[in-house]
Amino acid sequence: MAIPSYAGSARLFFALWPSAALAGQLAAWARHAQPYCGGRIMRADTLHITLAFLGPASPARTRQLIDYTRQSRIAPGEIRIARYGSFKRPRIIWAGPEGRHEALAALHEQIWRDIAPLGWIQEEPDFTPHVTLLRKASGFEPPDPPGALDWPYAHFCLMASEPGGQSRYRELARSR
């Protein structure tokens, strides 16, 4: 796959992307919370869990990350999306697992360990796996969630968030 011409200004991140069916169910979670919390509902095709956020990368470093992603293999797992949560300062309402998800935490650590030799240093404070459902929320007391969702995963993706702030994401590579 060609490296996009905006490489350098795009922000890169590793993510788990849901199937279209699961994204539709997550979108229903967003619609369910919106009357309570306000904010802007994220488009179903943008919903994901970020495993590691890198930020801008030069074309050469982007190529290294694409190669890393393509040769990676992860243990398949499952996430039970069972709760709403919120980040008040960025005004986000999200969906995520109940409690700590050991396999996701391990995957997050593994990715950062693997890309350290490429010069990437983990700057994220702590890892809270979540799917952002609403942005610019005005209320932070979401309702009880609809029924839990089971999210099986078998690979992760290297994604580029295109400049412009419209939540336009492009897959650059995926693991095996």
Cβ neighbours of residue 47 closer than 8 Å, sequence gap 6 or more: 18, 23, 26, 27, 30, 131, 132, 133
Q: Which of 30, 61, 132, 142 binds ligand 2AM (CB under 6 A)?
A: 132
Cβ neighbours of residue 63 closer than 8 Å, sequence gap 6 or more: 3
Q: Considering the rule CB under 6 A, would residue 92 count as an interface residue with ligand 2AM? A: yes
Output 25 or 161, the one with its CB closest to ligand 2AM: 161
Per-position x/- string for 102-131, each x denoting binding to ligand 2AM as judged by CB under 6 A, each - no binding: ----------------------x-------
* Tally of CB atoms within 10 A around 1: 9
Tell the residue number behind the tokens 């419209």, with chain if given.
166
Q: List active site positions.
A: 48, 130
Output 85 or 139, the one with its CB closest to ligand 2AM: 85
Q: Considering the rule CB under 6 A, would residue 36 count as an interface residue with ligand 2AM? A: no
- The backbone torsions φ and ψ at residue 166, rounded to the nearest 5 degrees and listed phi first, read -100, 15
Q: If DSSP codes are grouped into helix, strand and coil, which group holds residue 33?
A: helix
Output 68 or 112, the one with its CB closest to ligand 2AM: 112
Q: Considering the rule CB under 6 A, would residue 53 count as an interface residue with ligand 2AM? A: yes
Q: Which positions touch ligand 2AM (CB under 6 A)?
A: 13, 50, 53, 92, 124, 132, 161
